[in-house]
Amino acid sequence: MKLSSFGEKYTGQSGIVDLMADLGEALHTNPNMISMGGGNPSRIPTVEEIYRDLLVNLLSAPNGTYNILGKYQPPQGDEQLLKQLAQLLRAEYGWPITDRNVAISNGGQSAFFVLSNLLAGKYTDGSIKQIRFPLVPEYLGYTDAGLETNFFSSTRPAIDIIDEHVYKYRVDFESLEVTDRTAALCVSRPTNPTGNVLTDNEVSQLDAIARESHVPLIIDGAYGAPFPNIIFERVTPHWNDNTILLLSLSKLGLPGVRTGFIVASEEMIHAYANANTILNLACGNVGPAIAGKLFEDREVLRIGSELIMPYYRDKAMRAMELVIEACSDLPMYVHKPEGAIFLWLWFKDLPVHSTQLYQLLKEAGVLIIPGHDSFAGLDEDWPHTHECIRVSYAQDEEQVKKGIEIIAREVRKLYAK
Ligand SMILES: Cc1ncc(COP(=O)(O)O)c(C=O)c1O
């Protein structure tokens, strides 16, 4: 089969595709494997029940089946829903938003693909621009999103050691370079994979730098405010018309509906809607129909803040206790869990590369994500990039405890060699 350069790029070697295939294969070969690798949200029965009832009611309403299954959405998404989301954001945060500032996408991943390629890559004057991560590690799913190579550049973070086993990344503003090759700044807040939540101060500095440099600031709020709001710190959500905010229903427990939202300037929304129509024709209806109901009476905010956030906060705190207890004799630091659904563990001076640790843990019956692919765009050789792993605590506590014990046992053997 002969393939174009697009075809070659998207069928060629990719760290993430290989890793995902390997994770799937490992689960298939060993059904008892403790799975702490994936990004699936937890099953929360009370929340699942709400969605089930809602979907049944939607389908049994007059014209329900037709409305949900029988028609296409307009390019920007259902007008009524755009108005509802704009109204919710205006009321909640006072942001000056109308339905012209909002678009619906088939999930955050697809929205990021379209937006990042609208902004970065080759320009008609021959110049090439990149998306800049002001702080890595960042979301693994971005790594291969660019149609061009060298699509990302990134800045090494500063590290604040909080105590004997806890640390936090901070944007190193002194090293953050924004040049005429920069197309946009991009952060996830809370950050996948670390559970970091950029402080208000960091966000306002990034906002100022982005505006001075005439580039947008992309904030991926897949875990953030206003929903699912898996944030354990007191921080202020940010938006102005130089911000591109990405939201998603996935971590509310609805990854199967593939629905996300973009909140941006009218110009950006218009560009997005055009490109999305060419790529997807229209977004699905099921997620938007559920969202329409959830936005009524701001039920979505209640589900996030009262049912989902406390659930993950308790799990995060418990997992952190377990990991500190299990690794008390090891040079292990856990990133302070401030949001999202993962622990990020740093084994200082780890004697092997995190990929080898991933293999050893797989043989020992635990799946995690090795950390080095999360440092996209970082050109320097920094040992820290292969000393970290991402561990999901979305499983039940018994599994999480067992998994953490195996991780500590295997890592201890490595340091003892
Ligand atoms: C930071 C971040 N952004 C985007 C996504 C993609 O989410 P969606 O399911 O909406 O495509 C994920 C999924 O895990 C994520 O962690």
* Domain match, 364 and 411 both: yes
* Domain match, 263 and 395 both: no
In a domain, 53, yes or no: no
Tens digit of pLDDT for each residue in 143-186?
999 999 899 999 999 999 999 999 999 999 999 999 999 999 99
pLDDT, mean of residues 221-247? 97
* Domain match, 79 and 221 both: yes
How far does the centroid of ligand 1 lie from the alpha carbon of residue 109, in Å?
6
* Domain match, 125 and 243 both: yes
How far does the centroid of ligand 1 lie from the alpha carbon of residue 410, in Å?
30
Q: Minimum mean pLDDT among 18-22, 57-61, 88-92, 357-361: which range?
A: 18-22
Per DSSP, the three-state class of 59 is: helix
In one-letter notation, the amino acid at residue 216 is P
pLDDT, mean of residues 109-120? 97
In a domain, 282, yes or no: yes
| pLDDT-based confidence at residue 22 (cuts at 50, 70, 90) | confident
* Domain match, 323 and 288 both: no
Q: Exposed/middle/buried for 353, CB within 10 Å: 0-12, 13-18, 19+?
A: middle
Reference 207, options 115, 215, 189; nearest CA is 215
Q: Which CATH number does the domain housing residue 321 bear?
A: 3.90.1150.10
Asked whether the CA dihedral 387, 392, 396, 399 is positive or negative, the reply is negative
* Domain match, 314 and 288 both: no
* Domain match, 268 and 191 both: yes
* Residue in 187, 220, 231 to alter for ligand 1 test, most ligand atoms within 8 A of Cβ: 220
Tens digit of pLDDT for each residue in 378-406?
989 999 999 999 999 998 999 999 999 99
Q: Which residues contact 321 (CB under 8 A, 6 or more apart)?
A: none
- The residue from 266, 299, 332 where one domain ends is 299
In a domain, 153, yes or no: yes
Q: Which residue has the higher pLDDT, 74 or 18?
A: 74
Q: Which residues contact 93 (CB under 8 A, 6 or more apart)?
A: 226, 237, 239
* Domain match, 13 and 113 both: no
* Domain match, 41 and 83 both: no
In a domain, 137, yes or no: yes
- Residue 23 pLDDT more than 90? no
pLDDT, mean of residues 34-57? 93
Q: How many other CB atoms are there within 10 angstroms of residue 169's CB atom?
A: 21
In a domain, 54, yes or no: no
- The residue from 299, 328, 359 where one domain ends is 299
Task: Give phi and psi for 307, each to the nearest 5.
Answer: -110, -40
pLDDT, mean of residues 199-226? 98
Asked whether the CA dihedral 336, 340, 343, 348 is positive or negative, the reply is negative
Number of domains observed in the structure of the chain: 2
In a domain, 60, yes or no: no
* Residue in 139, 140, 254, 290 to alter for ligand 1 test, most ligand atoms within 8 A of Cβ: 139
| pLDDT-based confidence at residue 29 (cuts at 50, 70, 90) | confident
In a domain, 52, yes or no: no
Question: For residue 179, what pLDDT is reported?
Answer: 96
Instruction: Please give the Cα distance from 118 to 332 (Å, whole number).
Output: 40
* Residue in 40, 246, 248, 390 to alter for ligand 1 test, most ligand atoms within 8 A of Cβ: 248
Exposure string for 366-400, b = 16+ CB within 10 A, e = fewer = bbbbbbbbbbbbbeeeeebbbbbbbbbbbbeeeeb
* Domain match, 261 and 118 both: yes
Question: For residue 11, what pLDDT is reported?
Answer: 84
Q: Mean pLDDT of all residues in the chain?
A: 95
pLDDT, mean of residues 323-347? 98
- The residue from 244, 278, 299 where one domain ends is 299
Can you tell me which atom of ligand 1 is nearest the CA of 255? 9
Question: For residue 40, what pLDDT is reported?
Answer: 85
In a domain, 319, yes or no: yes
- Residue 24 pLDDT more than 90? no
* Domain match, 239 and 110 both: yes
Tens digit of pLDDT for each residue in 258-274?
999 999 999 999 999 99
CB 190 within 8 A of CB 340: yes
Q: Which CATH number does the domain housing residue 165 bear?
A: 3.40.640.10
* Domain match, 157 and 276 both: yes
Domain carrying residue 211? 72-299
Pocket of ligand 1 (CB under 6 A): 39, 107-109, 139, 141, 188, 192, 220, 222, 248, 250, 255, 260
Atom 16 of ligand 1, residue of closest alpha carbon: 192
